[in-house]
Amino acid sequence: MGKYLLKRLGQTILVMFLVSILVFLLMSFIPGDPVYAMLGEDITPEEYQVAYEQLGLDKPLITRYAGWLGGVFQGDFGVSYQYHVEVEELIASRVTVTLYLAVLSTVIGYPIGILFGMLTAVYRGKKADSILTFIANLCNCLPQFWIGICLMYFLALKSGLLPSYGFTWPWEDFGMHMKQLIMPLICLSIGSIAGVTRQTRSSMLEVIRQDYVRTARSKGLREKKVILIHVMKNGLIPIITMLGNRLAFMVGGSMFVESVFQIPGMGSLFVKAIGGKDIPVVQACVLLTALVSCLAYIVTDLLYMLVDPRISLVESE
C-alpha cells in the first residue's frame, strides 16, 4: 500500500509539472497585453514600461517560467491583475464554495442514480425501465447552463419562489442558504443522476448474468438479498470509477452553474479571469483543478480495494 501510494504521488507530481508547462506556455502566447489587462488602456508609456518590468515580461520565457514555478512551490501564485490581491488568497476564499457544492451534489446524485439504476436493471424491459432510461438519456444530453437558465426563468423570474442569484453560508442565514441552494444543486446533480443511472444499469445487467448469481438464486436466497449482496456489491466498481471522474468534473465544470447563478466560487472566478486575461488566476485555477483530479483518482483506486477485496493494489505496483 505504501509503495503504491508513493508511486501514485510521484505520477501526480509529474502530471502537475507537465500541466504547469502547458498552462504557462498557453497563457504566454494568448493574444492581448497583460500590462493593459492589469492597468487599463489609459496609461503613459513610462507607466507601461514600469509595469512591464515588474511583471518580468522583459525576461526570457524560461526565466519567467522558472520564477513562477519557484513561487508556486512556495505557495505564491502571484497577484491578480483584476482584483490586485494575492491569487492564493483569492482562490482560498472561493474554492470552499465550489468544493461544498461539488461534494453536496455528489452526495445527492450518487445514491439517487444508483437507486434508479438498480430499478432499471431489476425491471429490465418493463415500464419502469423504459421511463427511467429515457429520462436518464434525456438529462444526460442537457447542458447545465441551459437547465440553470430554465430553472431561473420559471422558479425565480416567473414565480418568484426562489432567489435568482447569490450564495449564503448556512450559519449566516439558513433559510436563504436553502433557497439559494436548490437551483444550483439541481443543475449539478442532474448530470450525476443520469450518468450513474445508466452506468449502474449497465454494470448490474452484466453481473446479473454471472454464474454465481444464478447459484445464489438456486440456493433459495431471496431476490432482494441476491441483488443487494451479490449483484450490487460486484457492480459497484464502474460506479466508483465514475465517482473520481465526476468529482473532478464538478470542480472544473461548475463554472457554468456558478456563472448563471452568480455564485462566488472558483468556477465563476475562472470565467472572469479568462475574460479579463488575468493570467495568474487562470494558471492557479488550472493547476488546482488538475491537482484535485489526480487526488480524486488516487482515492478512487483505494475505494476499489475496499469494495472488492479481490483487487490488490500490490499487484499494480
Cβ neighbours of residue 271 closer than 8 Å, sequence gap 6 or more? 255, 258, 259
Q: What is the pLDDT of residues 225-281, one digit of tens each?
A: 777 776 776 777 777 777 766 766 666 667 778 888 888 888 888 888 887 778 888
pTM: predicted TM-score of the whole model, two decimal places: 0.78
pLDDT at position 315? 46
Look at residue 316 in the predicted model and tell me its pLDDT: 46
DSSP assignment letter at 126: S
What Å distances lie between residue 5 and 2, 11, 297, 316, CA to CA? 5, 10, 12, 11
- For the chain, residues with pLDDT lower than 70 are 1, 230, 233, 244-245, 247-253, 305-317
pLDDT of res. 317: 46
All three cell numbers of 80: 491578480
* pLDDT on residue 311: 58
